[in-house]
Amino acid sequence: MKLSHRLESVALHGVASLARSLSHSQALGLGALLGSTVQSLGVRAKVARANLARAFPDAPAARRAAILTAHYRELGRVACEYPRLPELVRAPFGEVMAATRGVEHLDAAARDGRGAIILTAHYGAFEFGGAWIGQRHPTSFVVQGISNPSVDAWVTALRHRAGIGTLRLGESRGIVRALRENRFVAMLADQDARRAGVFVPFFGSPASTPRGPAALALRARVPLLMGWVTRRDDGRLELEILPKLEVPDPDAPDAVSRLTALHVALLEDRVRAAPEPWFWLHRRWKTPPPPLAEEK
């Protein structure tokens, strides 16, 4: 094992052990402190500030700075919750998950018997939301492997203990099989997809977006549901599931682009309403759109 990987693993297990030794509220406090420390080190701060300026060009600098500070603190909270995911997701309703909206859309998809694509974003405690859904209906996460094998194995085992299956990104046969078994397949689609993505508007600029969730839902004729988790001031969480996303003429050549644009627009609405939980540290607009002539 590389020395850097070994050090990462030691640090991870140290923080995880400390977080598990604390109550939920204490772990959240530790996480907020940890997030503030990461911010003080300037980790990805330049990228985040540029993203916030692009998304909210008319907002006062102080407002954007406050969003970023709150974001780092929430990242820390999520990190310190994560080692206790199997326990927290099974806690009695009201202890960690305080409220839900739109769960009937999940239940309808389960009754339909064809599986469903559950789409979310790097927004707050998104894995907790997926794992909570997995307590109601069999669910698999589509995940990208972590370069550190030890960390990857730890995260995979944690997900499995929380009752979640995992499918590797690009494992199309496994995803199709899961849908045929009437499983929910949870995916993320809010990061730069380079030239393989479809360019759709996000905060007024074209952003390369993974086409997979829309393409798969249309091809397999399964519902595409979108949702997110937000945190209350008392630290507890809320889950919202939107009605299934649909576009006219799903067989049209541009149906994937239109469905992708729809879910990206819904994410933009959510981020505008509550920007602090979204992952501002990623270069969302990294890939420029191709010249018009190239798109034809």
Please write the tens of the pLDDT for every residue from 182-206.
999 999 999 999 999 999 999 999 9
Q: Is residue 145 part of a domain?
A: yes
| CA distances, 196 to each of 154, 211, 238, 267 (Å) | 30, 8, 33, 20
Q: How many domains does the chain have?
A: 1
Query: What torsion, rounded to 10 degrees, do the Cα atoms 292, 270, 211, 166 define?
Result: 160
Q: Which pLDDT belongs to residue 292?
A: 59
User: pLDDT grade, residue 97 (50/70/90)?
Assistant: very high
According to DSSP, the β-strands at 224-231 and 237-241 are: antiparallel
Q: Is residue 167 part of a domain?
A: yes
Please write the tens of the pLDDT for every residue from 160-183.
999 999 999 988 899 999 999 999
Give the range of the structural domain holding residue 80, as residue numbers without chain letter: 3-273
> Is 294's pLDDT higher than 60?
no
Q: Is residue 124 part of a domain?
A: yes
* Beta carbons within 10 angstroms of residue 287's beta carbon: 18
Please write the tens of the pLDDT for every residue from 234-282.
999 999 999 999 999 999 999 999 999 999 999 999 999 999 999 999 9
Contacts for 225 with CB less than 8 Å, ≥ 6 apart = 105, 106, 109, 116, 117, 118, 119, 241, 242, 243, 244, 245
Mean pLDDT (the chain) is: 96
Record the pTM.
0.95
Handedness of CA 85, 13, 80, 168 (dihedral sign): negative
Q: Is residue 294 part of a domain?
A: no
Q: Is residue 278 part of a domain?
A: no
User: pLDDT grade, residue 296 (50/70/90)?
Assistant: very low
Q: Is residue 94 part of a domain?
A: yes
Alpha helices in 113-211 (DSSP H): 126-136, 149-161, 172-180
Please write the tens of the pLDDT for every residue from 14-73.
999 999 999 999 999 999 999 999 999 999 999 999 999 999 999 999 999 999 999 999
> Is 78's pLDDT higher than 90?
yes
Please write the tens of the pLDDT for every residue from 109-134.
999 999 999 999 999 999 999 999 99
Q: Is residue 296 part of a domain?
A: no
Q: Is residue 218 part of a domain?
A: yes
